[in-house]
Amino acid sequence: MTKLQEWLTAFTVLFSIWFLFVTNRIDNNFLKNNYDLVLYSPVFFVILFGLYALTVVLYRVYTFNDCEEAAVELQMVIILLR
């Protein structure tokens, strides 16, 4: 199973459960009392995923290793090719 298939399967399962909650096919007092929370939960999860992705990207950019030797070598190659 590829990574895309894993993500699509997880998304389909979560969307199906959310859809059952929103259409009131599952009877539960929590769902009746917090319908707005359940209805807007996908928006909250997208925002949280975006914050997580932004944090990971910023952290990895901050901790990116510089390779001084490779930079000097690349500059020498550029000078030689002129």
Specify the length of the chain in residues: 82
Quote the pLDDT of residue 49: 93
Quote the pLDDT of residue 24: 84
Quote the pLDDT of residue 1: 77
Nearest CA to 49 out of 1, 5, 2, 10 is that of: 10
Mean pLDDT, all residues of the chain: 91
Quote the pLDDT of residue 8: 95
Note the pTM of the prediction, 2 decimals. Answer: 0.65
Distance separating alpha carbons of residues 46 and 8, to the nearest angstrom = 15
Quote the pLDDT of residue 59: 96
Handedness of CA 48, 53, 56, 61 (dihedral sign): negative
Quote the pLDDT of residue 21: 87
Distance separating alpha carbons of residues 47 and 40, to the nearest angstrom = 11
Spell out the domain ranges in the chain. 3-81
Helix, strand, coil share (%) of the chain residues, nearest 5: 80, 0, 20
Per-residue model confidence as pLDDT tens digits over 20-57: 988 888 888 888 898 899 899 999 999 999 999 999 99
Nearest CA to 38 out of 27, 30, 48 is that of: 30
